[in-house]
Structure 1
Amino acid sequence: MIVDAHHHLWRIEDGYGWLDDPDLAPIRRTFTPDDLCRELTAVGVDRTVLVEGGRCDPAEAAILLRYARDTGPIAAVVAWADPTDPGLADILAGYRELPGGERLVGIRPQVQGEPDPNYLDRPEVRAGLRTVAAAGLAFDLVIRADQLPGAARAAEAVPELRFVLDHLGKPRISAGTAGHADWADPLGTLAARPNVTAKLSGLVTEADWTRWTVDDLRPFVATAVERFGPDRLMFGSDWPVCLLAAGYGTVRDALVEALPPLSAGERDDVFGGTAVRVYRLAGSTGLTAGS
C-alpha cells in the first residue's frame, strides 16, 4: 500500500484568494474527489491525507471531512484552525462531531504567511499547540526556511505534540547550493527533535517550474534522509499545486529517483509506513515499496 501524505482539494467558488496570483492560473479551478481518484488510479496510490487548502476558514473542515467520509482512498484530513483562538478546544471538538469527523488527524494554520519568523514562540501560539496535543492531533508545519529555528524551539517546548514539517520547510531549491546552505543546518536542528517528522512534498514547486531536474532535488532529499531517517519521512504529492511544475506521476517518479539507496523496509516507510504511524491511519496494512 502506498500513501500520499499531502494533497489538496478545493472548490474555487469558496474563496481561495491566494489563487488570484496570475502565476497560479493553471490551478485556479475546482479540484474534486473524482479528479483525485483518477490520478490515484493512474499512479497506483492507495490512500491519502487531505490537507487544508489555504482558505483559512473553519467552514472548510466540514467539506473536507465529508470528502473523506465519502471517498474511499481519503484516509484522513488535516484541517485549518487558528492556534491563537481562545475557543480552539471547542472548535476541534466540533470538527469531530461533523460527518466524517473521525477522519480528523491534524491541524494546519498558514504559519508561512506570518511575517514574524518567531511566530511559533508567541505564548498564545504555544498554548494552542498544547491544545492540539491534548486533542490527540498532529500539527502540520507549513513554514518558510527562516521559520525553521522557531519550529525547533516549539517542538522542544511541546514535546507531547506530533509535529509534521510540510514540504521540508520550503527550501529555495531554485537557488541551488545557496538555497541548500541556508536551509540544511536549521533543518537539522528541527530534525533533532524526536517528535518531528517531515514530508518529501512540494519540492518541484520550490525548484524552477519549467527547467527543474531530479538532480536539482537530489541534494535536498539526501539531506532530509540523513537528518530525519526514512522512518520519519513521508511521500506527499502536493497535488494539485504540483501541477505548476509537474504532473502527479512525474512528482512521484522524481522522488523515487531522487532518494538515496534504501532498503525495502526504509522505502516502505517513506511511501506509507511513516504516514500510517504519524497520522494513526486506521486499517492501513500491507504497505509495499514505492518503486
Structure 2
Amino acid sequence: MIVDAHHHVWDLSVRAQDWLTGPGLAPLRRDFTIDDLRPEAAAAGVGRTVLVQTVTVPEETPELLALADRHDLIGGVVGWTDLTRPDVADELARLRALPGGRHLKGIRHQVQAEPDPEWLLRADVRRGLAALADAGLVHDLVVRPHQLPACVRAAARHPGLTFVLDHLGKPPVASGATEPWASAVRTLAALPNTVCK
C-alpha cells in the first residue's frame, strides 16, 4: 500500500491560514477538503495518508482527529500541542482519548517561526520531547536551515524519539547555495532516530 506521508486540509471559513500570503500562493487560498484529496489519492494509487497540522492553535488537532475517525483514507494525524506546557503528557493522553485519537501519530511545532534558533534545546521543550517519546509518538521538524544544528543536538539527546524532517528542512533551492544546509542534513541523517519527508 502506498502511504502519502504528508498532506493538509483546511476550511478558510473555520480559520485563516496566515501563511498563505503573497501572489505565489494565491492558488492555495481556497478550501481543501478530504473530498478534494480522495480522487487525487486514488489516481496516484495512494491507500492511506497522514494528515498534518497547518496552524498553531489547540483547536485544530481535535478537528483533524475527528476527520481521521470519519475517513478511512486518513491513516494517521500529526497534530500540534504546546510542548512547553508542564502537563504535556496529560494533554497527549487527552488527545488520544478523543474521537479519532487512536490516529494520533506525532506532534509538530512550527519551529521555523521561533526567533531562538536553539528553541528545541530549551529545558521546557526537552521535557515535551521526552513526553512524546514516552507516548510512542514522533516529532515532525518544520525548520529552516539555520535551525538544523539544533535539530541534530535535540535528536542526539532524545534517542528514543523519532524525528521526522519535514520539507527537507527547507533548503535554499532558489539560490542554489546548498551549504551549510547539505552538511547539516547529512549530520542529521546519520542519527538512527531521524527520517525525512
Normalised by the length of structure 1, the TM-score is 0.65
Unaligned ranges ≥5, structure 2: none
Shift of 1:137: 0.5
Partner Cα distance (2:14, 2:69) in 1: 20
Unaligned ranges ≥5, structure 1: 200-291
Counterpart mapping for 1:50-199 below 5 A: 50-54=51-55, 56-176=56-176, 178=177, 180-199=178-197
Shift of 1:161: 0.6
SS of aligned partner of 2:51: strand
Higher RCO (Cα < 8 Å, 6 or more apart): 1
The total of aligned residue pairs comes to 196
What amino acid is aligned across from residue 97 of structure 2 in structure 1?
A: E
Q: Given that residues 19 and 27 in structure 1 are in contact (C-alpha distance below 8 angstroms), is that contact kept between their aligned partners in structure 2?
A: no
Q: Given that residues 68 and 77 in structure 1 are in contact (C-alpha distance below 8 angstroms), is that contact kept between their aligned partners in structure 2?
A: yes
Distance 1:17 1:10, change over 3 A: closer
Q: Given that residues 81 and 107 in structure 1 are in contact (C-alpha distance below 8 angstroms), is that contact kept between their aligned partners in structure 2?
A: yes
Shift of 1:22: 3.1
Partner Cα distance (2:167, 2:102) in 1: 26
Runs of 4+ displaced beyond 4 Å: none
1:51-70 Cα distance to aligned partner (Å, 9 max, x none): 0012x112111211111111
SS of aligned partner of 2:109: coil
Q: Percent identity?
A: 52
What amino acid is aligned across from residue 61 of structure 2 in structure 1?
A: A
Q: Given that residues 141 and 164 in structure 2 are in contact (C-alpha distance below 8 angstroms), is that contact kept between their aligned partners in structure 1?
A: yes
What amino acid is aligned across from residue 59 of structure 2 in structure 1?
A: A
Counterpart mapping for 1:29-40 below 5 A: 29-40=30-41
Partner Cα distance (2:71, 2:169) in 1: 29
Shift of 1:25: 2.2
SS of aligned partner of 1:18: coil
Partner Cα distance (1:18, 1:28) in 2: 10
What amino acid is aligned across from residue 193 of structure 2 in structure 1?
A: N
More strand by share: 2
Q: What's the Cα RMSD here?
A: 1.2
Shift of 1:15: 2.2
Partner Cα distance (1:30, 1:80) in 2: 20
Partner Cα distance (2:77, 2:20) in 1: 25
SS of aligned partner of 2:168: helix
SS of aligned partner of 1:184: helix
What amino acid is aligned across from residue 8 of structure 2 in structure 1?
A: H
Question: Equivalent residue for 2:18?
Answer: 18
SS of aligned partner of 1:14: coil
Counterpart mapping for 1:213-224 below 5 A: none
Range that drifts further, 70-79 or 10-19: 10-19
1:1-48 Cα distance to aligned partner (Å, 9 max, x none): 211100101111222342452332211121111111021122221111
Q: Given that residues 20 and 28 in structure 2 are in contact (C-alpha distance below 8 angstroms), is that contact kept between their aligned partners in structure 1?
A: no
Partner Cα distance (2:162, 2:6) in 1: 16
